[in-house]
Amino acid sequence: AVWDLVTGQFLRTLQGHVAGALRGITFSHNGRMLAAFGVDGFMVLWDVASGQERRRFSRAQWPIFSPDDAFLATGTETSDLVLWDTRTGETQRTFDDGGYPLAFLAEGRGLASRRLGRVILWDLESGEERRTINEVPELAAVSPDGRWLATGGADRLARLVDTASTLVERVFEGHTAHVM
């Protein structure tokens, strides 16, 4: 369902998932598109203004939009990372065993993904892996400029890693419990 936040008025219901609950939902940067994935195994991309379904992607989950909203990166049920064109719905690139997307980097020219204790930095033009940062705990987030990776986990530490080097820049101690 979509509401106008200023007036509180209900606008429309977006139809498209065949069964079950939604597992995640995200707006494009310009607010014109909405992507949602559910337990039905599909991700649906809607036009917010009209409420019309634009595209349907099978086996896609955890979507993030590129800074210009031209692309949508998703994880899949088989742990691949897929880059989709939001205008055509065509697959632009598949990164085998790439995990799920964390963030677009460097104005959309790179992509960070998360996979089994590591973060992988990808070059979108070549499709090559630029770098892997190992021993990343459960939580990971990338700064808006793509320069920093922040991590946290059961070791009760928060870390900042410079994505351009292999150095851990800072370790923040003092958490008395799991960093969540």
Instruction: Report the chain's terminal Cα–Cα distance, integer Å.
Output: 29
Cα distances (Å, whole numbers) of residue 134 to 22, 143, 168: 31, 18, 11
pLDDT confidence band for 180 (50 / 70 / 90): low
Run of H or E residues at 42: strand 42-47
CB-CB contact of 57 with 33 (8 Å): no
Question: Any idea which residue has 């106008």 for tokens?
Answer: 4
Gap between the Cα atoms of 119 and 100, Å rounded: 10
Q: What is the mean pLDDT of the chain?
A: 86
Beta-carbon contacts of 22 under 8 Å, excluding residues fewer than 6 positions away, are 36, 37, 38
Query: Mind listing the pLDDT tens digit for each residue in 159-177?
Result: 888 887 766 677 777 766 6
pLDDT of residue 167: 65
Query: Mind listing the pLDDT tens digit for each residue in 16-68?
Result: 777 778 888 999 999 999 999 988 888 999 999 898 999 988 889 999 999 99
Closest to 1 in 3D by CA, of 48, 41, 44: 48
Q: Of 15-19, 55-59, 101-105, 129-133, which gets the smallest average pLDDT?
A: 15-19
